[in-house]
Amino acid sequence: MKIKEEDKTKTTEKRIWLPVVIAFVFLCVIVWLDEIIDLPVLLGGPKTSPNWLEAIEETLVIIVVGFFALFKLIRSINERRRAEEELKLHKEHLEEMVDQRTSELKHMVEAMSLRVVKVSDLEIAVEQLRDQLKDAGIEPVVDIPLIAGKNLRQGG
């Protein structure tokens, strides 16, 4: 069962932006845990009093930076999607051009093969006329290039 290309893209987008959201939520939690649990004390530092205003400011900075990062990420995903669509259109157009040129070349080969048949028919007709002239006792004076070329190709 094939997954639609659109579903793949949405899944890829989730794989990209979901960790970013989780990371920013994690940062916010760390900021608030620092104020609630007093992390510096746990790490061997001096005891500090909770600074709720600082925690709110840090959380707002994290949220603003998070939204900016998500905005840039979503924009780059959309640009990539547009580029992939454009590439797909160019590929389809190129395939159409190749098919068209292949068709033209096939027609040219067919036309050339008909010409080769006609030239070989002419060679046979000229050879028959030469033989008829020789049978009538007339030696042909002009050497026909088609026959001369054929004799050279056949080695005789």
Domain that holds residue 48: 5-154
pLDDT of residue 93: 95
pLDDT of residue 144: 61
Residue 155 has pLDDT above 50, yes or no: no
pLDDT of residue 150: 52
The domain total for the chain is: 1
Percentage of residues of the chain with pLDDT beyond 90: 17
Token couple for 115: 């010409």
CA-based torsion, 95, 97, 100, 103: positive or negative: negative
pLDDT of residue 147: 53
DSSP string, 127-145: HHHHHHHHHTT----SPPH
DSSP state of 44: T
pTM flag (> 0.85): no
pLDDT of residue 86: 95
